[in-house]
Structure 1
Amino acid sequence: MKQTGIPLAAPSNPNHSRSLSVGQSIRHSFARYRGVVVALSLGTLLSGCGVINNMMYKTTGDVMQGFSREHTIPYLMESGDLAMGCAMSEATAPLLMSFGRVTDEPDQLAVMLYLSAGGCAEDQGREHELAALAAMYERKGNAAEDAMIRQKRAYALASKRYLKSWQHHNTYYGESGTGECPDFDDDLDEFIYLAGLLSGLQALNAEIQSTSSIGVPKNVGSIVARASSCLENDKWWGAPMALKATVWAMIPGAQPEGEDAFDRLAMTDRLGEEAGVRLSHVFHAIAATNKGDEAMVKSVVRRHAESLKEQPANAEWAFVDAMATNIIVSISDRLWVENTGHRTPLGQLGSFWDDQQKEVETMDLDGLL
């Protein structure tokens, strides 16, 4: 049978066809804009997550900075493990400094991190120097030259790190040497200020050792000398005056009339020995080395060795005293390698190759008669 165009069932509502068309249009419109709605919702959600993450990062950064200042630095200062302190500063500096992207720049913490990391590089430089001296003693020219190249590279890295410490120091405490002293919050605040001054002087010294142009201000020595007056000399083991006297001894025309740099260094040595923080010995030995007075250098090394037996390290600042001893040992090693080809024998710090006097054996001839 031929089908007709008549529907099998007619709609009960004559407006039903129109209703279907309207409903379909609404569904099509919703489907069309559903992607936009989802995208907007997701964007809002992600934006909220970003804000939350930034808040979490900022909080974490603030906590890490506070914890490092209140606990990590004091804990490290009470330890005498230089190698561990060196490894910590090199490993954690990028992490801790990266929090400056989400919260306040950790300038004060950076002073300590980059000073310590600079010391790591300088230690490597001293090792390469000893290798060069040993090679020269054995007349191995190529080995000596290679070691000297490595020495200069290490000192260049040390200077860059010390310079960063000095820059963060000036950012946090203000430009040093202007005649105005910062208001210190506590003893640790003062110590970090002292550490920053040391980093400035070390930056210049390492740049000179590297024979490269690192960008260290050439007037940093005189700036450090003036800024050291902001610290109490007796409180800080004679180190502020030792810093100043070393600058006087090393920079022509820097010593004030009526002053004697080496008399001042002898005085600060006594303060450091009594306090068990013998940092002044390092400055004294550096100044004597710069003067070319080997006898004085030996005398300072002997005095340091004797003091270690008589006065234990200050428990609160054991790390600083250990750092001083490490540098004094390296100075002694340099003298030994230059003259014997090897370092200071173990347990003989304070003695030198030319101290040994051979005892002449005598025979009691009366007993043979």
Structure 2
Amino acid sequence: MYKTTGDVMQGFSRDHTVPYLLESRDLAMGCAMSEATAPLLMSFGRVTAEPDQLAIMLYLSAGGCAEERAREHELDSLAAMKSLEADRAQDAIIQQKRALSLAATRYFQAWKRHNAFYGEPVAGECPGFEDDLGEFIYLAGLLSGLQALNAEIQSTSSIGVPKNIGSTVARATQCLDNEKWWGAPMALRATVWAMIPGAQPDGEDPFVRLDIADQQGEDAGVRISHVFHAIAAQNKGNDERLRSVIRSHAEAIDETPPNEQWQMVDAMATQMIVAISDRLWMENTGHRTPMGKLGTFWDDRKKTVETMDLDGLL
């Protein structure tokens, strides 16, 4: 009975729950679901086949929950430093690192489940995909690997994430159709080139590739490439490019509706762009991005309003 129940639950979650969530923009609900149901769904691996493919999505989402809490703690620390409250700032930084350590652990679980289901990425070899969702989950698994390394480094902890995971992910993205997946595979690859010394192939410019990927994502209504572009710009300390990416994202979400099938991916991109914008605003003003002001900055020049001289009309 347990085996049958486990098979049914795994199949239903993969074929219906995951696609349903991907069509939603309620990130908080998706976060709560992944944290609450992951132990239940993973426990069915004790009585039937391990739900490795489903686990990729659950642990990636749960890692995102922990990382979101880490971002809130970071904003608290920045606000405290702005107010010259050293003890409060230090406490918030400690909480941030704890949350990042948890995020890294969850992301790393997603990466290991990815390798268990699809096989460890090997140059020149690609897994067979049963359908589009299988391809997307493969992409999600690659993202989880990079996120695991990034969160581990930021947390200053050590949970055993391989340091060569970036180059491994970059190679594995070649198994995915770049145009089909909104420019995300190339954006992921270009971000690795921009961030890891020696990873960039001769004749390649990661930011040219990121610009192209951004346009593909904007046209498709799935703007996840903007996040990779912003991360690469941050890593290079290119504030002008970082602001440009944030502005482009704000304009794109006003101009093009999200792809209905992948609304959650697009919403995640916006959430992360807002988080990057919030950090900039908090560092410079002591508060987050004002409502309705994504894509603007505290030091933008105010547009001069043309006025008409009415004296001559009287």
TM over 0.5: yes
Provide structure 2 residue ranges, at least 5 long, that are not aligned to the other structure: none
1:200-349, aligned counterparts within 5 Å? Answer: 200-349=145-294
In 2: Cα distance, 1:268 partner to 1:365 partner: 50
Q: Give % identity.
A: 73
Q: Which residue of 2 aligns with 1:17?
A: none
> Kindly tell me: are residues 364 and 273 of structure 1, through their superposed partners in 2, closer, same or farther at Cα, counting changes over 3 Å?
closer
CA offset at residue 211 of structure 1? 0.9
Summarize deviations over 1:94-121 as a string: whole Å, max 9, x none.
Answer: 0000000000000000000000000000
Judging changes above 3 Å, is the alpha-carbon distance between structure 1 residues 364 and 147 closer, same or farther for their aligned structure 2 residues? same
1:195-251 deviations in whole A, cap 9, x for unaligned? 000000000010111011111000000000000000000000000000000000000
Whether the aligned pair in 2 keeps the contact of 1:122 and 1:154 (CA below 8 Å) is yes
Alpha-carbon distance in 2 for matches of 1:280, 1:120: 20
Q: Deviations over 1:78-97 (max 9, x none)?
A: 00100000000000000000
In the other structure, the counterpart of 1:352 is: 297
Under a length normalisation based on structure 2, what TM-score does the superposition of the two structures give? 0.97
Give 3-state SS (helix, strand or coil) of 2:167's partner.
helix
TM alignment of 1:20-99, pairs within 5 A: 56-99=1-44
Measured against aligned partners, the alpha-carbon deviations of 1:281-320 in whole angstroms (never above 9, x if no partner) come to 0000000001011111110000000000110000000000
Residue type at the aligned position of 2:281: W
- Whole-Å Cα distance in 1 between the matches of residues 107 and 177 of structure 2? 24
Residue identity in the other structure for 1:179: G
Match of 1:199 in 2: 144
Q: Aligned-pair distance for 1:326?
A: 0.2
Per-residue deviation at 1:358? 7.2
1:115 & 1:297 partners in 2: Cα distance?
25
Per the alignment, do residues 229 and 358 of structure 1 end up closer, same or farther by CA in structure 2, a change over 3 Å counting? closer
State the partner residue of 1:164: 109
Contact 1:130 1:334 in 2 (8 A): yes
In the superposition, relative to structure 1, how do residues 60 and 255 fare at CA in structure 2: closer, same or farther (>3 Å)? same
State the TM-score, normalized to the length of structure 1.
0.83
Name the CA distance, whole Å, in 2 between partners of 1:88 and 1:108.
17
Larger radius of gyration: 1
Which secondary structure does the structure 2 equivalent of 1:180 belong to? coil
CA distance in 1, matches of 2:51, 2:91: 38
By how many angstroms is 1:357 displaced? 2.2
- Are the equivalent residues in 2 in contact too, given 1:121–1:158 (CA < 8 A)? yes
Deviation at 1:137, TM superposition (A): 1.0
Alignment match, 1:27: none
Cα distance in 2, alignment partners of residues 364 and 104 from structure 1: 78
- Secondary structure class of the residue paired with 1:343: coil
SS in 2 for 1:312: coil
Residues 171-215 of structure 1: per-residue CA shift (max 9 Å, x gap):
000011332100100000000000000000000010111011111
How far apart, CA to CA, are the structure 1 residues paired with 2:252 and 2:306? 33
Q: Secondary structure at the match of 1:146?
A: helix
CA positional deviation for 1:359: 4.8
Q: Which amino acid in 1 is paired with 2:251?
A: E
Instruction: Give the whole-Å Cα distance in 2 for the aligned partners of 1:71 and 1:366.
Output: 68
The one-letter code sitting in structure 2 at the alignment partner of 1:142 is: D
Structure 1 unaligned segments of length 5 or more: list them.
Answer: 1-55
Residue 80 of structure 2: aligned partner: 135
RMSD: 1.5
Q: Tell me the residue number matched to 1:146.
A: 91
Structure 1 moving runs of 4+ over 6 Å: 360-367
Shift of 1:139: 1.1
- 2: distance between equivalents of 1:305 and 1:318? 16
- The residue aligned with 1:178 is 123
**What is the rounded CA distance, in whole Å, between the counterparts of 1:98 and 1:238 in structure 2?**
36
Contact 1:177–1:224, Cα closer than 8 Å, also in 2: no
AA partner of residue 177 (structure 1): V
